[in-house]
Structure 1
Amino acid sequence: MKVLYDQPIENNHFLHDYQQGEPSARQLFHYAGDTQGVQDRLRYLDGRSFERRRLKQLLQKYNDSLYYGERAVAALEKLESEEAVIVAGGQQAGMLTGPSMVISKALSVIKLAEKEQKRLGRPVLPLFWIAGEDHDWGEINHVNFPVDGHLDKTRFEGNFLPNVPVSEQPFNAEEAEAFVEEAFSKLRESPFTKELRNEVRVLVHRSVSWSQFFAEMMRWLFKETDLIMMDPQQPEWRELGAPLFKSLLSKPGKINEAVYQGTVERAKAGYGDVGGINFDSGHLFYHINHVRHLLEYSDGVWRSRRTGDVMNTKKLLRESVHSPFLFSTDVVTRPLMQEQMLPVLHFVAGPGEMQYWSLLKPLFEALDLRVPVVQKRMEVHYVTRQVQQAAEKERIPFRELLNLPALKQKLQEVKHAALEVDGKAKAARVMEEMKEAHAALADEWVRQFPSQESFAQENWRRIEKEVGYLGNRLDAEQERTVQVHIQRLELIIGQLYPRREPAERQINILFMLNEFGACLPEQVSAKTDWKSGRQNIILL
């Protein structure tokens, strides 16, 4: 394995400016990602108090329940120290960990924590926040593998409850194992397949929920690291979150005003809207028989967006204190929950998350909190030997493999260069030239035999088809002379950018583990260094 590094050219205006440290983007946050920003954040955390012993107990209890949780449990002993801080990142609990960008994010959390602990000389713990309260089942109920040149989706077909959090979805080990077996059936039999299948089966039968299965998989893949797993959907965590739930219910106008102010400040900085923000939302979910109801607040009344039913405000406030497990946060207020409970130094975000976080500074300030240092996660691109060989033969530098527009342009140039004559265009010109002459002939046919007009029309369709076929055949025969080059370029694009999107956003990591072994994530971790937004090109 060899690792090459590169920094992507950010096409998004905001992300480009943020990564470049432009004041227009950085002013939307409390801290810059430089040395001074980190020191300022540390001073702020050192001035706050956290329920460290309780945090340690809850996290140790959860991680100790995981088959490979021993390293995480040991690392958590440091959390009672007033100097201990956290690097956090998170994701939904996807099937078999979901797309491999989840692994990239966990790797980013681990490497940044390692770097900061060494640099700062104080405990820095890596923590992965499982968004177990999320209920978008369609986003996570499947995995994609490349099969015969295309992406094949394996979907879980077992029992599920609509609009119920992932952590509370029914989990049946036999159904889960059937899904795992179907997924493995899409992979070729390799020297690693049997061991992988057996390991995953063990983790399935240890699990009692989909979020635990996710956590089991993550700790297995990073068992030689200190990565700490956390599922805030557990009732104990929502007890700690009770003060936030009460605050959100007590001052909804102030909360929405702050969210709106965040959009105003972003617009003033010169950046576009962030989709999906509802200014009537209470940014809080209320659970009725496990089903999540987004609470909306307007005209002094709380309502369920799902049903329109009016909610009793006094009852909601009472339950936020005595039954906090009935509430959960949304994408806007989840960061507040994290900030309230944990001493987070850095938050590692994907590009979409960073857009949301750019709105949150006024909201944090409304609750006397501050946004942590936000870092863009690293990317990890796995380049097989097959792709490397194709790139070498086409004289494409390995770093250029991440430039999709350049690859597509090169493919078109190869195809165009093969066409000494544009057969399709030439066939179209021939048809245009023939059209008038054929029309005259057809008119004569109709004059002589009016009852057989359709014969002339069918004759013209046959001519169009045959001339078009000749033009296409001319192009195809010319392309055949450069087909080997086209196949290499299509192989490169197909493996690195299936459906013209980066593979890490689509392909599940199990595909790579089946080819290169379960130790792959740890090998990558050992050979990579942290840098915000860095592209890691893994030459396998």
Structure 2
Amino acid sequence: MNITSYTDSNRSSLAERYRLGDLQVLELLGSHPAEERSWESRAAYLDDTTDKRAELRRVAEAIQAYHRQLPSCAETEKSLGKLREGALVVVGGQQAGLFGGSLLIYYKALSVIQAARDAERRLSRPVVPVFWIAGEDHDFDEANHVNVQSPGGEARRIRIERPEGPRLAVSRTPLSAEMWSAALQELAAQLPDSEFKPQVLERLQSHVSDAPSLSLAFARLLADWFGKQGLLLLDADDPNLRALEGPMFRELIARSDDLETALKAGEGRVLEQGFKLQAETAPGSANLFLHHEQGRLLLHKDEGRFIDRRGIVSHSREEMLELTDRRPDLLSTNALTRPLMQDYLLPVLATVLGPAEIAYWAILGPSFREFGMKMPIVLPRQSFTYIEPTVAGLLDKYSLTVKQAIEDWETLRAEWLGKQDEWKLDEQFRQVKEQFLVLYEPIMKTVSGLQPGLTRLADGNRDRILEQISYLEARSADAIAKRHDSSLRQWDRIRQSLSPLAKPQERVYGTVHFWNRYGPSWLSLWHDVPFEAIGGHRLVDGLQNV
């Protein structure tokens, strides 16, 4: 296994400056994982504030009830036992993804597990990994797809269309057996054949045989992949957890104006340091949603009432507060209040975040303080590009580094193809065009002098001749390319693997693609990749035993 760092070209981003320990950015996020005292201080704070959070035993019971729907293993039960006994947690979360979603989700769960182990070693006390599935989100299009590389090498998207009707939370969106069957058939058609393909498809079928929601099917697959690592899974929309969140919802509603002021203060701090806001809060936002038969409705404040923009609901503050006792399952956090709820529900030692998440967490310091909380340690998600064995060989063949292949592929491919032109056609055609223009110039002057109207005709005639020369040049270039078609396909293979659709590999291809190609051992071997508490992007090759 070979692991090397990949230097981020955008070293001025808020997330990257935080990762590298920039003191200005640390003021926004409060601590840094590279500092040992951050871990000790956070653990001591959590020990002193147990009574300000939900009862951990009941939280563990809710998570245990949720896990009854998932594949089980002894390691998961051990984690639940630790949690019941007061273990601290490392948390990371994500919207669900069809058939496991993109690789970055796998890497985030891996980061959560490795960070919990690292923290347990640092502090000599139990620390449990928890993955928070954002099943309350209603953006179905973020969850309903996965990309794989087809047998022809192209990135192909498999998706489940959202059922007709209101835009409900993903966990509340019913899917039929027919929908799941069609998605599996499409996946089977697009995945390249391999010795592992039948087992992959069989395992996926076992998770959706009862036509679950996208979130539940996703949780089952993560439990399959990470259960033996002791990863606990929860759905933010789980009614058993909602029943425990009422007191925090009450605070968020009763002090909604204070929260809005704190968020604006946080935005001001970020702007003062010269960063752009990841997402600006809207004036009057309640920063909460309400689950309704017409969909998940974003709430705003208007003259003391909580309303949605479509005019479907209008509740007084008292009515909203009543819901926190009577129907907390109707309430839902947004991206800015979910971190506060997470901290109320669990003893969060650290949270694993991607770059965009770090950017919006940077405004939350005043909000945490407003509610008597301290922000947990922010851990940048570990990021990887996997170099497949065949691609590693092609990089050597064409004397390319991974960085060159990702950042300068088009230029280098064109340069390589140009070097295959033993006839120097570029130069020959350039000379022909120049000589033609020289020879044609006297004719242009002569015919223009004969009759002014011929000038336009001469111009058009010249341009058509140049166009025909260029056409021949293009056909000649195509002929050269066809002579080297096999090599150009290899160049394309490099691009399609390392930077599909001109995007990072981890944001395009699904884990299921590599699971199918290299088998379950490929998934397991990621646990041997050394943990980096400050994250960063790394290149990994030699990660196979096939």
Q: TM-score, normalised by structure 1?
A: 0.90
TM-aligned CA deviation for residue 123 of structure 1:
0.7
Cα distance change, pair 538–444 in 1 and its aligned pair in 2 (3 A): same
Which range is displaced more, 333-342 or 179-188? 179-188
Which range is displaced more, 129-138 or 382-391? 382-391
Which runs of no fewer than 5 residues in structure 1 stay unpaired?
none
Distance 2:435 2:154 in 1: 37
Q: Is the 8 A contact 1:349 1:375 kept in 2?
A: yes
Q: Tell me the equivalent position of 1:6.
A: 5
Cα distance change, pair 102–425 in 1 and its aligned pair in 2 (3 A): farther
TM-aligned CA deviation for residue 517 of structure 1:
0.8
Distance 1:472 1:86 in 2: 61
Name the SS for the 1:468 alignment partner: helix
**CA deviation profile, 1:300-324 (whole Å, cap 9, x unmatched):** 4432024475433322221122111
Of 70, 77, 94, the residue aligned with 1:73 is 77
**CA deviation profile, 1:404-447 (whole Å, cap 9, x unmatched):** 22545533543455564536766765776688678789989999
Of 363, 374, 379, the residue aligned with 2:378 is 374
Cα distance change, pair 317–489 in 1 and its aligned pair in 2 (3 A): same
Q: Is the 8 A contact 1:115 1:530 kept in 2?
A: no
TM-aligned CA deviation for residue 366 of structure 1:
0.9
Cα distance change, pair 93–304 in 1 and its aligned pair in 2 (3 A): same
Cα distance change, pair 124–203 in 1 and its aligned pair in 2 (3 A): same
Q: Is 1:16 matched up with 2:25?
A: no
Q: Tell me the equivalent position of 1:184.
A: 188
TM-aligned CA deviation for residue 296 of structure 1:
1.2
Q: Is the 8 A contact 2:387 2:539 kept in 1?
A: no
TM-aligned CA deviation for residue 456 of structure 1:
9.3
Q: TM-score, normalised by structure 2?
A: 0.89
Distance 1:172 1:438 in 2: 75
Q: Is the 8 A contact 1:3 1:527 kept in 2?
A: no
Q: Is 1:144 matched up with 2:147?
A: yes
Q: Is the 8 A contact 1:17 1:25 kept in 2?
A: yes
Which range is displaced more, 59-68 or 85-94? 59-68
Q: Is the 8 A contact 2:72 2:223 kept in 1?
A: yes
TM-aligned CA deviation for residue 163 of structure 1:
1.9
Q: Is 1:505 matched up with 2:507?
A: yes
**CA deviation profile, 1:498-537 (whole Å, cap 9, x unmatched):** 1111111011111111111133222211344343224251
Name the SS for the 1:275 alignment partner: coil
Cα distance change, pair 441–311 in 1 and its aligned pair in 2 (3 A): farther
**CA root-mean-square deviation:** 3.1
Distance 2:438 2:62 in 1: 80
Q: Tell me the equivalent position of 1:164.
A: 168
Counterparts of residues 323-362 of structure 1 (less than 5 Å): 323-362=327-366
Which range is displaced more, 384-393 or 486-495? 486-495
Cα distance change, pair 444–374 in 1 and its aligned pair in 2 (3 A): same
Cα distance change, pair 153–310 in 1 and its aligned pair in 2 (3 A): same
Cα distance change, pair 212–309 in 1 and its aligned pair in 2 (3 A): closer
Which range is displaced more, 87-96 or 165-174? 165-174
Of 107, 123, 126, the residue aligned with 1:123 is 126
Counterparts of residues 485-500 of structure 1 (less than 5 Å): 486-500=488-502
Cα distance change, pair 189–25 in 1 and its aligned pair in 2 (3 A): same
Q: Is the 8 A contact 2:16 2:355 kept in 1?
A: no
Which range is displaced more, 253-262 or 282-291? 282-291
Aligned-partner residue type, residue 56 of structure 2: R
TM-aligned CA deviation for residue 332 of structure 1:
0.6
Identity %: 27
Cα distance change, pair 496–445 in 1 and its aligned pair in 2 (3 A): farther
Aligned residues: 533
Distance 1:211 1:294 in 2: 21
Of 382, 388, 395, the residue aligned with 1:391 is 395
Name the SS for the 1:241 alignment partner: helix
Aligned-partner residue type, residue 526 of structure 1: D
Q: Is the 8 A contact 1:414 1:482 kept in 2?
A: no
Q: Tell me the equivalent position of 2:299.
A: 295
**CA deviation profile, 1:38-68 (whole Å, cap 9, x unmatched):** 1110111010114121011111111132123
Q: Is 1:202 matched up with 2:206?
A: yes
Q: Tell me the equivalent position of 1:40.
A: 41
Q: Is the 8 A contact 2:141 2:162 kept in 1?
A: no
Aligned-partner residue type, residue 517 of structure 2: E
Cα distance change, pair 250–504 in 1 and its aligned pair in 2 (3 A): same
Aligned-partner residue type, residue 112 of structure 1: A
Distance 2:220 2:450 in 1: 78
Cα distance change, pair 206–317 in 1 and its aligned pair in 2 (3 A): same
Cα distance change, pair 158–357 in 1 and its aligned pair in 2 (3 A): closer
TM-aligned CA deviation for residue 292 of structure 1:
0.8
TM-aligned CA deviation for residue 117 of structure 1:
1.4
Name the SS for the 2:300 alignment partner: strand
Cα distance change, pair 92–402 in 1 and its aligned pair in 2 (3 A): farther
Name the SS for the 1:4 alignment partner: strand
Which runs of no fewer than 5 residues in structure 2 stay unpaired?
none
Cα distance change, pair 139–443 in 1 and its aligned pair in 2 (3 A): farther
Distance 2:520 2:320 in 1: 47
TM-aligned CA deviation for residue 295 of structure 1:
0.7
TM-aligned CA deviation for residue 210 of structure 1:
1.7
Of 277, 281, 286, the residue aligned with 1:277 is 281
Q: Is the 8 A contact 1:528 1:536 kept in 2?
A: no
Aligned-partner residue type, residue 26 of structure 1: L
Q: Is the 8 A contact 2:95 2:143 kept in 1?
A: yes
Of 232, 243, 252, the residue aligned with 1:239 is 243
Q: Is the 8 A contact 2:134 2:235 kept in 1?
A: yes
